[in-house]
Chain A
Amino acid sequence: MDFSFTEEQTLLRNTVERFVQDKYDFETRAKIIKSDDGWRKDYWQQFAELGILAAPFDEDHGGLGGSAIDIMVMMEELGKGLVVEPFLPTVVLGGGFLRHGGTAAHKAEVIPAVIGGECVIAPAYAEPRGRFNLADLETTAKKDGEGYVLNGHKAVALGGPWADKFIITARTSGGQRDEQGVTVFLVDKNTDGLSTRDYPTVDGYRASEVMLDNVKVSADAIIGDVDNGLELVERVMDEGIAALCAEACGVMKQLVDKTIAYSRERKQFGVAIGSFQVLQHRMVDMYLNYEQSVSMTYMVNLKLGEDATERKKAASAAKVQIGRAGKFIGQNAVQIHGGMGITEEMDVGHYFKRITMIDTQFGNVDHHMRRYAALSE
């Protein structure tokens, strides 16, 4: 057993940490999320130059051959800075689909473009009426000669406005919620019939509704196997959860630290509010919640390679922990900051907003409790 980090991992962490410290202070981020574009494309280029975008990919394709732990340390640092650039959608999810299911051609063409910062990918797996069930798809892909025709509406694709390509889940056969019949497609944004409605999200990101109106793609667009895509989707989403948990740990760390610091400085009744025992115990509970979350984040990242049932249980368990801890920590960080906690001008409220939405992303506590219970039957 070993819970230490390799030299490479420490180096990666330091790289991201330094980037966030130097270039992603609170004011800069505030400007970025308010700007028309909503992200800094030049930062994305810098990510490419720093090797951040290359971490999980094979050396054959120009990557660094990193593991889930490499992603974990980076995501934690990105979380600390509330970085909105689409590392999770593009590198973790997009990259995951390409690595586990992409054809040799995808790998040869798309992975280097991702690594080079020239290709942003936004997975569009959710649907307006599907909630968190990844198989509940109304979007269809019908065979059309050699290719397929896609029709449907994909919901809340994070990073969509910046994407060059979407990864789209669609039904190629079976009933609306059948496990069989799900197929994954890699589709260029500028394909005829594909349109988006772009909007900001409540936690500072950008997302798109993706409308598919007779979108014609060739069979080369398929990632993984026809009809058997669900296992791939679940695998990639579990990797996404593992990365998201790490981001959440970064966010929670900030919430805990900032609250402790504030309670030391803020004086009422002639003393620091941190001297009130009721607040001390609250902050202790915040800390406990954070530590338990770090443990679960390590756990899931170490178990991503295990058999599917173990992996799924690990991901769901970690997501439940993160969802609950995030709520407790977020709410109490705001509470202990008093009125300041709900102002746009103070950073703590922004961490609170993000940790809140992390519970929804990839399915909330209830969803993952249900999934865990079903897997344990």
Chain B
Amino acid sequence: MRAELIADVVAEFKAYGRIVIVGASLAGLRAAETLRDEGFTGPLTIIGDEKQEPYDRPPLSKQVLKGLARADHTLLPRMRKVDADWRLGVAATGLDRRVKQVRLADGEQVPFDRLLIATGTRSRPWFNPQEAALEGVFTLRTADDAGRLRAALAAGPGRVLIVGAGFIGSEMASVCRELGLAVTVAERAEGPLVGALGGVIGDIAAEMQRDHGVDLRTGVSVEALEGDAQGHVRRARLSDGTTLDVDVVVASLGSIRNTEWLEGAGLASGRWGVACDAGCRVFDINGVVTDSIFVAGDIARAPHVLYDYQFLVQEHWDNADVGGRVAAHNMVSLEPQRRPHLPLPAFWSGQFGVNIKGVGVGPFADEIVITQGSVTDRRFAAAYGRNGRIVAAVTFNHGKWLEYYGALIERSAPFPPPPPGYDHPDGMQPMPARFPTPGAPTGWPDVVLTGHDPTERGAEYEYRTKKR
């Protein structure tokens, strides 16, 4: 195509193309704003199954539970008018790629020329549905969840049990202590935050919890919840044989990606998320990139140049914020104007008065070294390494230094990093980071290859829900 022709195509699409965004949260909103910013004036439909306008989730486990902000008061700021057809409170239930339509729960079909998938994740529910239905048993993902949980905490329960000591579980435990509530945290791993940060940091996090009066139980799982006659949870049974009297239980067991609505659409989607290239374009089930379907946010799984091109999901705020923008840009651009979304993974978490921040991918590492500050004072920086390269870093109340490590990771600089000029622990000895061994392969395959003739060879998704 000649240059003018390409320009014409882009201009025409920006004027008349139809874009649909499914998922009306951080990634979806930022994408919508970017589309308009980039001059897209065609019809834009935003479909979200929650009734609220897009809101921010991180405050839910912090400010909101603490009572500093109302659960319905975390609406996201708007950068500009988006002039969209908002379809809130209705879920997308299917995608038909042949006719390019999204099917809604109310039966409507919404046609598109380009589609953005931004349906994020939901909390993994308590495994036993009867127990999950007991009053006083919660999960936390939505504003409604937060409102209910806040009310339960404000009522002054006797003891709160938090199952799972990841970031959100630990933050909730911290809030409970600040509210003066007795709290038990049960974690299957050897300590809190171990999955994301490894056992060395997990030990420090465990100490923090205990110092603040959390009854932390590690290496145990909660096997059953029992209710009273009114159907309110009252007791929990742990794998070590102990029982606990509890009035509130929060299951903080990680997340499930909202991909069910894509079943049968022939995309590379499943429990791992929706696979895409680094420009947010979704792969079909055969691993061939599509040209009209894009994905961003918690649900996206993309290859990352810094991590051996491994496909990573990044369930962090900035990945949705920036990913939404990049996806939108690429939706209304053609090569070579398309941009990669290659953020350095980053997260933060406030708990027990300590600001924990990180960059890079900790679990990619096998070693860790404390580089600055003092662990005892809980003011320090640590770097993670693998094969002599720095791949991640974490700080406890030392956030001003994190940027330095981010730059080292971006350059794949040597590990351990050079010793700072001051305030570093003696020796700076790297040690094993102690990440749990990655999960064993699942018992049944998700994808199988079918066909013999090269022209008909392809992949097929084996739906777990159907198999069982």
Q: Do A and B come from one complex?
A: no
Identify the B interface with A (CB < 8 A). none
Task: Using CB atoms and an 8 Å cutoff, list the residues of chain A in contact with chain B.
Answer: none
